[in-house]
Structure 1
Amino acid sequence: MFENIKSESTRRLIEVRETIKYIRISENRKRVHPPNIAITSMKGLFFVQLYGIYEYTLSSCISTTLQIISNENIKISQFRPRFLSIALNNDIVSLTMIGNEKKWERRWKFFDLFDQDNIINFPNDLIPTDGKNIRYKQLESIWNSFSIQEPILPRPEIGGRIQELVDLRNAIAHGNESPSEIGKRFTPDDLQKRFEDINEFCTYCIMVFQNYIENKHYLKPAT
């Protein structure tokens, strides 16, 4: 299943790479001042497109991982404690949604789950973050919730690239800056470097979640 994510992520990344190639060729053919607004807009929209791939890759890895685990029919007592924050998410949320009249009954019912030690099936559409765009803080929340053992980033420098990617994508998406205003700050070489770094993270992310499933790191260590 992770091979499908890798294939689709790669296909989308190739589109971005070809866009950079087109921008480079266009700028080399005819250097005009001020620069062609279509090309500078394309350079700005590069960040929107690249963020979409970054988010697609991460969210697909999460949903696939949750689907695989849910299908394994695992009991509560077998999971690592932190993973239960995901597996029992709906039950945990319901604790905060109940009125005072029934709050204790709901708490007893929740803790009865541990005595009953039932098999847990859960939806695969949960991303364990605060719901904001995925910066390092959100990645940290995901890694902690899954109890992933590998580092969050393949290289610390990529954290800055992700921050920049989210900031520029949001600036365009929220109308704070136009694509051409952002695009004129970057050369094709600048875009290529950012492409390579996000490509590296996407490849790393797939590897991390695939390794997580293969080694069953969501289960308590054998005693």
Structure 2
Amino acid sequence: MTFASAEEEARERLTESATLLAHLRAIAPMGRTPLDDLQKAQRGLWLVSLYAAFERGVNAVVEAALQEISSHGPKSIESAPSLHAVFHFSKVQSVKDCSYSSVFESSIAMFQASLSDAPLVMGDNHLAKYLQNVDGGTLEWVCTLFGATPYAVVGANRGRLATLRERRNAVAHGREAASQVGERYDLTEMQRVYDAADAELLRFKLHMEDYCTGRRYVRAA
């Protein structure tokens, strides 16, 4: 996964959501005519589709970042300390899961890997299971984890992305029917939610791409 292919995949998913939103706008009743149950449900399900596009976009960017750094093969000891938690996750997991009697041996293996000249190469993407319920705070957390410069989601976008995640969960986990969720959204707010997801996903991609391709994760001598 490259940053170019990550952007392409995210754009395809977002375009699908944009097309569906255009359809919902075209069939919306005129004036003060209330929505019928089907249109309410469609709006609720649209939120689910937008969330899916956003979540997949975040994961694609993270996959691209891991691949980009791996392709450079930086020495572990010369890389930002925060990256070690990602690339040496299996060693961290060994320390976490080991018995009290073997904690020193497991710790030695972890520190040897971290302080070695061996290149950082990503095998399995251990971050994937932590990126299944995402919002704006997730983007900030990922940047911190990679040691990138701080990333801040603007207030309005932060609120909308958090609400998007919550509404998606409400529908996906059966707490509310899609029609119950969808009836709360007019087309103007739906467009704003879409714009928030689109804008932050692009900003996140550009932020991580600059950090990784510029090799800003290499520690200063």
Residues of 2 paired with 1:54 and 1:41: CA distance? 20
Structure 1 residue 100: Cα displacement: 2.2
1:72-91 aligned within 5 A: 72-91=72-91
Residues of 1 paired with 2:54 and 2:101: CA distance? 45
Given the two structures, how large is their TM-score scaled by the length of structure 2? Answer: 0.90
Over 3 Å counting, the alpha-carbon distance change for 1:54 and 1:126 in structure 2 is same
Residues of 1 paired with 2:58 and 2:131: CA distance? 14
Over 3 Å counting, the alpha-carbon distance change for 1:89 and 1:114 in structure 2 is closer
Give unpaired runs (5+ residues) of structure 1. Answer: none
Structure 1 residue 11: Cα displacement: 1.9
Residues of 1 paired with 2:193 and 2:17: CA distance? 11
Structure 1 residue 131: Cα displacement: 5.8
Structure 1 residue 29: Cα displacement: 5.9
Residue in structure 1 matched with residue 123 of structure 2 by the alignment: 123
- In the alignment of these two chains, the number of paired residues is 220
Residue in structure 2 matched with residue 4 of structure 1 by the alignment: 5
Give unpaired runs (5+ residues) of structure 2. Answer: none
Residue in structure 2 matched with residue 139 of structure 1 by the alignment: 139
Residues of 2 paired with 1:210 and 1:71: CA distance? 13
Residue in structure 2 matched with residue 189 of structure 1 by the alignment: 188
SS of the aligned residue for 2:13 comes to helix
Name the Cα RMSD after superposition: 2.2
Residue in structure 2 matched with residue 66 of structure 1 by the alignment: 66
Residue in structure 1 matched with residue 25 of structure 2 by the alignment: 24
Higher relative contact order (CA 8 A, sep 6+): 1
Structure 1 residue 195: Cα displacement: 0.8
Over 3 Å counting, the alpha-carbon distance change for 1:131 and 1:54 in structure 2 is closer
Question: Aligned partner of 2:169: which letter?
Answer: N
Residues of 2 paired with 1:96 and 1:158: CA distance? 36
Structure 1 residue 139: Cα displacement: 3.0
Contact 1:64 1:124 (8 Å CA) reproduced: no
Contact 2:40 2:182 (8 Å CA) reproduced: yes
Percent identity, please: 20
Residues of 2 paired with 1:19 and 1:126: CA distance? 33
Question: Aligned partner of 2:7: which letter?
Answer: K
Question: Aligned partner of 1:89: which letter?
Answer: F
